Amino acid sequence: MVRTAAILSALACLLLVAACGVPKQKIAVSTDPLGATVYADGKKTCGATPCSVSLDRQSDHLLTIVKEGYKQEEIMIRRRFKPDRAIRDGVISGIIKGADPKDVASEAAREVDEQERSGEAYVLDPSIVTIKLTPAGAGI
């Protein structure tokens, strides 16, 4: 019995450590024509479209799409606050911790604050980028 409890405690600790990383979101990128290179915040993240890039949800990002013979495109990926998700998670956390019903609201507020700091309370938008590239030298 003690051994089972120790194993379960170790697994719970591993899950907590794994959950502490910066939350990321995959953004699908597709171009017409295919085969463009994608840079996120100036760093090459994808050698040939279609692909997806993994971005942290703690900040906005600039995607730059480059293909020889075509005009460079830039797309701003913005983080958007999702209060409904953060509050829901806070209320669930308060209930799971066995908080007194009158303390659930303060637990929810604490959880929302924590999710804002970690980036979990945000989603990146747009979550899918589809772009038709313009040939270089073509008029606007």
Task: Indicate whether 137 belongs to any domain.
Answer: no
Instruction: Indicate the number of domains in the chain.
Output: 1
Task: Indicate whether 13 belongs to any domain.
Answer: no
How many residues are recorded in the chain? 140
Q: In terms of residue numbers, what domain contains 58?
A: 21-132
Task: Indicate whether 52 belongs to any domain.
Answer: yes
Task: Indicate whether 138 belongs to any domain.
Answer: no
Task: Indicate whether 73 belongs to any domain.
Answer: yes
Task: Indicate whether 107 belongs to any domain.
Answer: yes
33 prior amide bond cis, ω within 30: yes
Distance CA(43)–CA(37), nearest Å, equals 11
Going along 19-132, which residue ranges are E strands? 24-32, 37-40, 43-46, 51-56, 61-66, 73-81, 122-125, 128-132
Residue of 21 and 103 predicted with greater confidence: 21
Residue of 119 and 69 predicted with greater confidence: 69
Predicted confidence (pLDDT) per residue in 5-52, tens digit: 433 443 343 343 344 578 999 999 999 999 999 999 999 999 999 999
Task: Indicate whether 140 belongs to any domain.
Answer: no
